[in-house]
């Protein structure tokens, strides 16, 4: 099915642009982007319903795109992500951006139109520094534990844990973390990849139940060059976005501190209710 | 907090900030000099993103007097020193966009941007979602920077 106004449908009609494809998905360079050699993977069908049976084809194409970018450009890291909303019914898609140390120079920072969201509660994280010199992995330590406000683990699946971020970008910023200590998405098996996708869907439902969130930024930062705070243990961010969150006014902003314990309790209740 | 102001529609946004001294707090004005004005950017790339604005309404360095150009450069140097103390960044971007084609938001009145930078300050939120979380209390940062701008000469 095609839609005349859809950008992805238009690219699909120009078959020459496509880098790789399989039955359900195709991958192509996204030339609109500020970031060079960004690959967009999108479903061929405009009216796409999320369906777990299609994950294996997505998995194959994502790995192919990552190894293509690694072989051709030798990046220091990757960003992999998407902007989703509940009830999304057009192309399932993900952007893969090869990242290099020092790739964000003044052409990107000066007068570039980035939206700003306000997260003053992260001040301590930035000032007091990240616990960089720990000899243990902060994620591994908590992976097998039962949910509690101390470890911020909301719930588990077979291979993953859903954890509330201690330094959230927005209220209810969750992470989907594999229980095994791996660094990259290419180390995930097909079964794990598929479970990861369902965990993200579950996280969205939990956030919708707890905080009425309906729009999300979902993604990975791979490597320090990709902006990862903890590059040694893979984690996928699910950042809920709220209405008008980029139009903050610091003079009237109420939540200078985030009540993590209260948020944890709400999310944990929602998780138990939904995953039942 | 609403204050009645002299909104002159003939003035560009930069000149409105320069004219309305009563709104300095809301506009995040850090320092007023005879030739230049320094403000904290409300839509920053990183917390501590400053703008140095020449008082003259101009889109070019050519139309500035020698002492005005000198003042701009002195303020760049001073801003970098103060940001180093207040924010402890690992690097800086300093620059200007002259003209709409180069990406200037206000092509009529240029300003010099100073952006403190850290390794890894752009992750998937910036690259995929074009969004920058501001990980700082911008009100206390404003107060802190302002105190430093007035203390140091």
Contacts of A225 in chain B (CB under 8 A): 120
Cα–Cα distance for residue pair A12/A20, rounded to 1 Å: 12
Convert the pLDDT of each residue in A134-154 to its tens digit: 778 889 988 889 999 999 999
Convert the pLDDT of each residue in A26-44 to its tens digit: 999 988 778 889 999 988 8
pLDDT at A269 over 70: yes
Task: Assess B45–A contact: CB distance below 8 Å, yes or no.
Answer: yes
A12 pLDDT tier (thresholds 50, 70, 90):
confident
B1 pLDDT tier (thresholds 50, 70, 90):
very low
Q: Average per-residue pLDDT in chain A? A: 88
Q: Which of A104, A117, A250 faces B122 most closely, judged by CB atoms?
A: A104
Structure-derived torsion over alpha carbons of residues A243, A215, A130, A161, reported in degrees to the nearest 10: 140
Phi, psi dihedral angles at A41 (to 5 degrees): -105, 125
Q: How far is B66 from chain A (nearest CA, A)?
A: 25
SS (H, E, C) B57-94: CCCCCCCCCHHHHHHHHHHHHHHHHHHHHHHCCCEEEE
DSSP state of B56: S
B153 pLDDT tier (thresholds 50, 70, 90):
low
Which chain A residue has the Cα nearest residue B104? Answer: A111
Q: Which contacts of B72-81 are long-range, i.e. CB under 8 A and separated by 24 or more positions?
A: B72/B35, B72/B36, B72/B112, B75/B31, B75/B33, B75/B36, B75/B38, B76/B52, B76/B112, B76/B114, B78/B149, B78/B152, B78/B153, B79/B38, B79/B50, B79/B52, B79/B114, B80/B114, B81/B152
Structure-derived torsion over alpha carbons of residues A199, A203, A209, A214, reported in degrees to the nearest 10: -120
Q: Which residues pair with A144 in a beta bridge?
A: none
Mean pLDDT of A8-15: 79
Structure-derived torsion over alpha carbons of residues A169, B1, B141, B150, reported in degrees to the nearest 10: 170
Task: Assess B85–A contact: CB distance below 8 Å, yes or no.
Answer: no
Give residue A51's pLDDT: 62
Q: How far is CA A177 from the centre of its chain?
A: 11
Cα–Cα distance for residue pair A250/A18, rounded to 1 Å: 45
CB contact under 8 A, A116 and B131: yes
Residue (of A57, A60, A30) closest to A44 by Cα position: A57
- Evaluated on CA atoms A200, A203, A205, A211, the torsion sign reads negative
Helices (H), chain A: 7-13, 55-73, 106-109, 123-128, 138-142, 190-211, 260-275
SS3 state of residue A148: coil
Residue B11 CA neighbour count, 13 Å, CB half: 13
Per the CB < 8 A criterion, the answer to whether A34 and A112 are in contact is yes
Tokens for A154? Answer: 């909301």
Per the CB < 8 A criterion, the answer to whether A251 and B139 are in contact is yes
Task: Assess A126–B contact: CB distance below 8 Å, yes or no.
Answer: yes
Question: Which one of B24, B76, B104, B123 would you mutate to disrupt binding with A, by most A Cβ within 10 Å of its Cβ?
Answer: B123
Task: Assess A130–B contact: CB distance below 8 Å, yes or no.
Answer: no
Tokens for A157? Answer: 């699946």
A45 pLDDT tier (thresholds 50, 70, 90):
confident
Convert the pLDDT of each residue in B26-71 to its tens digit: 999 999 999 999 999 988 999 999 999 999 999 999 999 999 999 9
CB contact under 8 A, B122 and A80: no
A62 pLDDT tier (thresholds 50, 70, 90):
very high
CB contact under 8 A, B134 and A97: no
pLDDT at A173 over 60: yes
Q: Which of B93, B128, B133 faces A119 most closely, judged by CB atoms?
A: B133
**For a pLDDT cut of 90, what percent of chain A falls above it?**
56
Cα–Cα distance for residue pair B15/A113, rounded to 1 Å: 22
SS3 state of residue A176: strand
DSSP per-residue string spanning B2-29? -------TTS-HHHHHHH-GGGTTTTTE
DSSP per-residue string spanning A236-261? EEEEEE-TTTTS--GGG---SS--HH
Contacts of B139 in chain A (CB under 8 A): 250-251
Contacts of B93 in chain A (CB under 8 A): 105-106, 109-110
What ipTM was predicted for this assembly? Answer: 0.87
Which of A109-118, A174-183, B119-128 has maximum average pLDDT?
A174-183
CB contact under 8 A, A97 and B127: yes
Q: How far is B87 from chain A (nearest CA, A)?
A: 8
Q: How far is A276 from chain B (nearest CA, A)?
A: 32
Report how far apart, in Å, the C-alpha atoms of A75 and of each of A103, B79, B81, B120 are.
Answer: 10, 34, 33, 14
Convert the pLDDT of each residue in A65-96 to its tens digit: 999 999 999 999 999 998 877 666 678 889 99
CB contact under 8 A, A97 and B128: yes
Cα–Cα distance for residue pair A267/A208, rounded to 1 Å: 10
Residue (of B127, B21, B141, B121) closest to A114 by Cα position: B127
Task: Assess B3–A contact: CB distance below 8 Å, yes or no.
Answer: no
Q: Which of A220, A229, A250 faces B124 most closely, judged by CB atoms?
A: A220
pLDDT at B138 over 50: yes
CB contact under 8 A, A106 and B94: yes
CB contact under 8 A, A115 and B121: no
Residue (of B28, B32, B34) closest to B48 by Cα position: B28
Convert the pLDDT of each residue in B74-120 to its tens digit: 999 999 999 999 998 999 999 999 988 888 888 999 999 999 998 88
């Amino acid at each position: 099915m095609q839609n005349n106004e859809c950008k992805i449908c238009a690219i699909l009609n120009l078959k020459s642009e496509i880098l790789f494809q399989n039955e359900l998905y195709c991958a192509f360079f996204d030339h609109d982007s500020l970031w060079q050699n960004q690959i967009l993977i999108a479903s061929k069908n405009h009216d796409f319903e999320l369906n777990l049976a299609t994950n294996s084809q997505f998995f194959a194409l994502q790995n192919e795109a990552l190894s293509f970018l690694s072989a051709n450009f030798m990046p220091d890291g990757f960003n992999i992500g998407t902007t989703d909303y509940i009830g999304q019914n057009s192309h399932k898609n993900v952007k893969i951006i090869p990242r290099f140390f020092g790739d964000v120079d003044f052409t990107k920072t000066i007068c570039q139109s980035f939206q700003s969201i306000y997260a003053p509660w992260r001040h301590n994280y930035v000032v007091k520094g990240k616990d960089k010199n720990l000899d243990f992995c902060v994620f591994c330590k908590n992976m097998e534990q039962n949910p509690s406000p101390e470890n911020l683990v909301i719930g588990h699946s077979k291979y993953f844990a859903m954890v509330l971020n201690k330094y959230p970008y927005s209220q209810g910023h969750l992470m989907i973390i594999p229980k095994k200590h791996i660094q990259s998405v290419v180390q995930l098996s097909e079964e794990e990849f598929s479970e990861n996708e369902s965990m993200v869907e579950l996280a969205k439902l939990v956030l919708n139940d707890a905080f009425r969130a309906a729009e999300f930024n979902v993604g990975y930062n791979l490597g320090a060059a990709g902006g990862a705070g903890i590059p040694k243990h893979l984690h996928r961010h699910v950042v809920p976005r709220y209405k008008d969150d980029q139009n903050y006014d610091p003079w009237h902003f109420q939540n200078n501190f985030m009540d993590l314990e209260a948020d944890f309790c709400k999310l944990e209740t929602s998780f138990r209710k939904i995953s039942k | 907090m609403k204050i009645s102001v002299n909104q002159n529609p003939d003035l560009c946004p930069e000149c409105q900030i320069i004219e309305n001294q009563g709104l300095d707090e809301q506009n995040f004005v850090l320092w007023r000099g005879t030739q230049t004005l320094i403000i904290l950017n409300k839509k920053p790339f990183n917390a501590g993103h400053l703008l140095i604005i020449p008082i003259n309404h101009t889109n070019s360095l050519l139309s500035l007097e020698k002492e005005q150009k000198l003042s701009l450069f002195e303020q760049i140097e001073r801003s970098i020193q103060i940001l180093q103390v207040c924010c402890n960044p690992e690097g800086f971007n300093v620059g200007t966009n002259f003209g709409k084609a180069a990406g200037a938001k206000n092509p009529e009145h240029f300003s010099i941007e100073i952006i403190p930078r850290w390794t890894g300050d752009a992750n998937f939120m910036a690259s995929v979602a074009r969004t920058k979380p501001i990980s700082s209390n911008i009100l206390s940062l404003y107060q802190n920077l302002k105190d430093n701008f007035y203390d140091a000469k």
